[in-house]
Amino acid sequence: MMRFHIITIFPGMFDSYLDESLFKRAQAKKIISVHAYDLRAFTKDKHRKVDDRPFGGGPGMVLAVQPVWDVVKKIKSMRRKSLKKSKTRVILFSTRGKHLDAAVARRLAKYDDLILICGRYEGVDERVAEHIADVEISIGDYVLSGGEIPALALMETVSRQIPGFLGKEESLEEINGSFPTYTRPGVFVPAKGKKWRVPPVLVSGDHKKIAEWRKGLPDSGK
């Protein structure tokens, strides 16, 4: 079973998404497990503060290293107490990180535990990247308000590589490739004088030609 551990100041953000569809089924079948940890529960500050002003000045606030270190330490400690040895990877989401793609997802799917650190505000104390995280990952060349959406994207991308999550391995686009798909009706009339038709090859019944069309071969009739 793949175990995802999410470190965030907004653990409730994940509830509705993870309680639907494939994630709900995969958790019920114990293919994966997901646990969100409230970073505020690990701060030593009496006001549950987890951020502070950056040294050297600058706008905004930065998540502190102490609560991140304590929650990661706790998660690893829990895994060490289990009967089975665990392969664990600690991931920090960052715009400077390695881009998430299918190859990265396949490698991460080989681990038992993925610890996902979701930053907020102006970022995370750099000592988290230097001493706590094993890898920094980015989901694109743009900036989000936090690491929660990247965490969801990574969990789904990785989970799709785990047998049983999709139900059918054939559902993986990495195997079949991506191609245009259509469904009924064969002809859709959005307005008078207009007809949007399904490509004839797809309703021909000739599976060889359909396969060629999907591969985009020159003689596929696409």
pLDDT by residue, tens only, the chain of 222 residues: 999 999 999 999 999 999 999 999 999 999 999 999 999 999 999 999 999 999 998 888 999 999 999 999 999 998 777 656 789 999 999 999 999 999 999 999 999 999 999 999 889 999 999 999 999 999 999 999 999 999 999 999 999 999 999 976 655 556 556 788 899 999 999 999 999 999 999 999 999 999 899 888 544 443
- d(C-alpha 66, C-alpha 33), whole Å: 26
Judge if 12 and 119 occupy the same domain: yes
- d(C-alpha 41, C-alpha 149), whole Å: 21
Report the 10 Å Cβ neighbour count for 211. 11
Q: Is residue 43 part of a domain?
A: yes
Q: Which contiguous run of DSSP H or E holds residue 127?
A: helix 126-127
- d(C-alpha 60, C-alpha 121), whole Å: 7
Q: Which of 217, 159, 150 is nearest to 3 (CA)?
A: 159
Q: Is residue 28 part of a domain?
A: yes
Cis preceding linkage at 185, omega within 30? yes
Judge if 136 and 207 occupy the same domain: no
Judge if 25 and 96 occupy the same domain: yes
Amino acid 83 reads L
Q: Is residue 120 part of a domain?
A: yes
Q: Which two tokens stand for residue 35?
A: 């646990």
Judge if 158 and 203 occupy the same domain: no
Helix 148-159 with 21-28: angle, nearest 10 deg: 60
Q: Is residue 221 part of a domain?
A: no
Judge if 26 and 87 occupy the same domain: yes
Judge if 12 and 101 occupy the same domain: yes
Judge if 94 and 42 occupy the same domain: yes
Judge if 86 and 149 occupy the same domain: yes
Q: Is residue 220 part of a domain?
A: no
Instruction: Count up the domains in the chain and report the number.
Output: 2
Q: What is the CATH number of the domain that holds 149?
A: 3.40.1280.10
Q: Are 125 and 94 in contact (CB under 8 A)?
A: no
Q: Is residue 151 part of a domain?
A: yes
Judge if 69 and 126 occupy the same domain: yes
The residue among 135, 153, 171 that closes a domain is: 171
Q: Is residue 206 part of a domain?
A: yes
pLDDT recorded at residue 178: 76
Structural domain for 204, as ranges: 179-215
Judge if 132 and 202 occupy the same domain: no
Predicted TM-score of the model (pTM): 0.87
Q: Is residue 222 part of a domain?
A: no
Judge if 191 and 158 occupy the same domain: no
Judge if 61 and 21 occupy the same domain: yes
Q: Which contiguous run of DSSP H or E holds residue 79?
A: helix 65-80
Q: Are 139 and 153 in contact (CB under 8 A)?
A: yes
Q: Coil, helix or strand for 51?
A: strand
